[in-house]
Amino acid sequence: MVKFLNEGETPVHDHPTLQPLGKRLRTLTGDAVLPHSREPFKAILSLLPDGAPDKEVLGEALNWSVHFQSEDMRQNHAQVVDDMLDAFLERREQCLAILHHWPEEAPKKDARVVPFPNARAPARSIQIVGQLAASDGEGAPADEPPPDAELLRIEPDRHSIFSVGAAAKWLPSPIDAGTLLIVEPLTGKPRAHDLVLAWDTVAGKALVGWCELETEAERIVLSGYAGHLHKVYPREGVELRRVVCGLFGALPQARKPCEPVDMTDGLLPLLRALEISQGDSAEPLLRKGDKALVGRSVRLDELDSHPAPAFAFRLSDDTQVLKRLDRHCSIPGHRQLLPVGDKGSGHVVASTPGGASGAPHIVCAFPLIGFWRN
């Protein structure tokens, strides 16, 4: 049956109408007007699995044709067959697309394997000294570390260090060209929110983004923030690492999207970390439970000129929030604090103590220098 349907100048499977199929069936039955024979339909019916909706429809059509030989089944059931052919053609196009691109992505049999680079991160310990909020108008107790807080540790035998260059175009703010990323081996499958570094062992190149494993297709899909990157790898030939830590603007801008860094002793001491205990306005980079790495406090009269992308602001109501500083505010005598991420809204504070609005004022500010992801 399959061989018969594929004979002739016009293939049945590659034609936008049912005309070639009807022509073949008329040839098979020997009837120039209507196909009355049960045999070709029984052959088609036998190919379908039991319980399939299409088998039931075609079976009813076949029974109907036995009793009403003069009925034109083409009009009544052409749509059913047409839908089946459409689904077949769509799957065929998908298969052809995969076959077309797969040789470009798949590693060759004799391709050399570029091992994961020996870019060991220098040992560091970071103390969690308090909490802060990434939320609308709410704050966390400033000097209360989370319960059971432990030191955050960077270990040379476990962690590697990479720099961000052109990859900053598809990563969320405040990651910039010059940010250092510290990565660790990925255990199990990546979670939906994990930021992942993919090392191509064939090309010897690194990319960073959000990772999705397509198990059935044995592929890895790496995506950037807001759809700015879409890279597909075969599962074999790619080594994955989870991004644990990042330090903003730690290096001069690099040209490559992401590359290993030899930094045995050059990493600055990291003194303080504040855990985000509530709120989601720093997502997608920082979620509840993640840590903001902060530097030493900044004088309030230097806030406008400070290069930090955001600050941990301690307010006069003894709360602490993670926000960006808006250089302009429409309310006299006040400042507006904006979300770090793509959620939430502004937070208005007084510029000086004792404002008429009763809003809390900024007591001190710690510049955001990096992040630690759980």
Tell whether domain 124-130+148-271 is in CATH 2.10.109.10.
yes
pTM: 0.67
CA 251 to chain centre: 26
Question: Residue 18: what pLDDT?
Answer: 59
Question: Residue 57: what pLDDT?
Answer: 62
Q: Write phi, then psi, for 162 (nearest 5 degrees).
A: -130, 155
Kindly list the domain boundaries of the chain, sorted by start residue: 2-105, 124-130+148-271, 278-372
Compute the distance between CA of residue 354 and CA of residue 361 in angstroms, rounded to an integer: 8
Question: Residue 255: what pLDDT?
Answer: 73
Rg (CA), the chain: 31
3-class secondary structure, 366? strand
Compute the distance between CA of residue 293 and CA of residue 285 in angstroms, rounded to an integer: 13
* Enclosing H/E stretch for 47: helix 39-47
Compute the distance between CA of residue 246 and CA of residue 279 in angstroms, rounded to an integer: 21
Question: Torsion angle of alpha carbons 159, 165, 169, 171, nearest 10°?
Answer: 10
Compute the distance between CA of residue 47 and CA of residue 64 in angstroms, rounded to an integer: 20
Where residue 293 falls (left for φ over 0; alpha for ψ -120 to 50; beta otherwise) is: beta
Question: Residue 330: what pLDDT?
Answer: 75
What's the chain's length in residues? 374
Question: Residue 242: what pLDDT?
Answer: 96
Q: Per residue of the chain (374 residues), what is the pLDDT tens digit?
A: 455 555 556 655 555 555 666 676 666 666 665 545 556 666 666 766 677 666 666 666 556 555 444 445 555 566 666 777 777 777 777 766 666 555 555 555 556 789 999 999 999 899 888 888 876 545 566 666 666 667 899 999 999 999 999 899 899 989 999 999 999 998 888 888 899 999 999 889 999 999 887 766 578 888 888 777 788 888 788 899 999 999 998 887 767 889 999 876 667 777 789 999 888 889 999 999 999 999 999 998 899 899 999 999 999 988 889 999 987 777 778 888 999 988 877 788 887 787 667 788 999 999 999 999 98
Question: Residue 193: what pLDDT?
Answer: 86
